[in-house]
C-alpha cells in the first residue's frame, strides 16, 4: 500500500512540475505584432514597434493606415519586409508586379511587396503571393501573408516568405 501511495505521490508531483514549466518562446513563435519566415528563418522586428514611424529607416514595426491603402514595413538591422495594399478589406488580396521603391510616386496605388534580405532586394510579381485581412476596424488591422519574391536583378533567384502574420 505504501508503494502505491509513493507512486501516486511522485506521479502527481512530476505531472505538476512538468505542466507548470511550460512557457512560450518568442524566438520560435515570433513577435506578437509581426512575424514571418524568410526561406525558413524566423524574421521578427528589432528596435521600436511604433504604430507610426518617424523615419522610413527605423528598425522595428511600422504600419501606415490611410483611407484607401495600408503600408507595412518591418525591419531588423539591414533586412526588411514591406508591403502596400490598396482598398484593403477583410479577405484575400493578390500581389501585383512591384516596381520597388524606385517606382512612380503613386506606388501606393498597387498591391505589392518588397523584401531586402542578405543584401539583395526581392520584388513581387503578378499573383506571386497574397495578403489576407482577418480583421479591419478603426482600432485594429490584422491578417496573414505568404509570397514568393524575385531578385530585382535575377528572376531565377527567389525567396519564399511564409507563415506571415501582423496585428497592429
Kindly give the confidence (pLDDT) of every residue in the chain, 168 residues in length, as a single tens digit, with 9 standing for 90 and above.
555 544 444 444 333 333 333 333 344 444 568 999 999 999 988 754 444 443 444 558 888 888 888 989 998 878 999 999 999 999 999 999 998 875 555 556 789 999 999 999 999 999 999 999 999 988 889 999 999 999 999 999 999 999 999 997
Q: Is residue 155 part of a domain?
A: yes
Q: Is residue 128 part of a domain?
A: yes
Q: Is residue 39 part of a domain?
A: yes
Q: What is the pLDDT of residue 61?
A: 83
Q: What is the pLDDT of residue 57?
A: 45
Q: Is residue 110 part of a domain?
A: yes
Separation between Cα atoms, residue 40 and residue 28, nearest integer Å: 12
Separation between Cα atoms, residue 68 and residue 8, nearest integer Å: 63
Of the candidates 86, 89, 110, 90, the residue with the CA atom closest to the CA atom of residue 99: 110
Q: Is residue 124 part of a domain?
A: yes
Give how many domains the chain has, as a whole number.
Answer: 1
Residue 130: CA count within 13 A, CB half-sphere: 10
Of the candidates 103, 108, 48, 95, the residue with the CA atom closest to the CA atom of residue 75: 48
Largest distance between two CA atoms of the chain: 82
Q: What is the pLDDT of residue 13?
A: 39
- Residue 61, domain extent: 30-167
Q: What is the pLDDT of residue 100?
A: 83
Q: Is residue 97 part of a domain?
A: yes
Q: Is residue 1 part of a domain?
A: no
Q: What is the pLDDT of residue 130?
A: 97
At residue 22, φ and ψ (nearest 5 deg) are: -75, 140
CA 154 to chain centre: 24
Q: What is the pLDDT of residue 84?
A: 93
Q: Is residue 136 part of a domain?
A: yes
User: What does DSSP assign to residue 128?
Assistant: S
Coil vs helix vs strand at 158: strand
**Residue 77 cell numbers, joined:** 538591422
Residue 55: CA count within 13 A, CB half-sphere: 7
Separation between Cα atoms, residue 107 and residue 4, nearest integer Å: 72
**Residue 144 cell numbers, joined:** 496573414
Q: What is the pLDDT of residue 96?
A: 94
Amino acid at each position: 500500500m505504501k508503494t502505491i501511495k509513493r507512486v501516486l505521490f511522485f506521479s502527481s508531483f512530476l505531472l505538476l512540475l512538468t505542466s507548470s514549466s511550460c512557457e512560450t518562446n518568442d524566438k520560435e513563435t515570433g513577435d506578437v505584432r509581426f512575424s514571418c519566415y524568410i526561406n525558413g528563418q524566423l524574421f521578427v522586428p528589432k528596435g521600436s514597434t511604433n504604430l507610426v514611424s518617424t523615419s522610413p529607416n527605423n528598425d522595428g514595426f511600422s504600419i501606415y493606415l490611410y483611407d484607401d491603402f495600408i503600408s507595412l514595413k518591418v525591419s531588423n538591422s539591414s533586412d526588411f519586409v514591406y508591403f502596400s495594399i490598396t482598398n484593403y478589406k477583410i479577405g484575400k488580396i493578390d500581389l501585383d508586379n512591384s516596381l520597388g521603391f524606385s517606382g512612380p510616386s503613386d506606388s501606393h496605388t498597387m498591391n505589392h511587396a518588397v523584401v531586402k534580405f542578405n543584401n539583395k532586394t526581392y520584388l513581387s510579381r503578378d499573383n506571386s503571393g497574397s495578403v489576407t485581412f482577418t480583421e479591419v476596424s478603426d482600432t485594429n488591422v490584422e491578417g496573414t501573408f505568404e509570397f514568393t519574391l524575385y531578385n530585382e536583378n535575377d528572376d531565377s533567384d527567389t525567396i519564399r516568405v511564409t507563415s506571415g502574420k501582423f496585428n497592429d
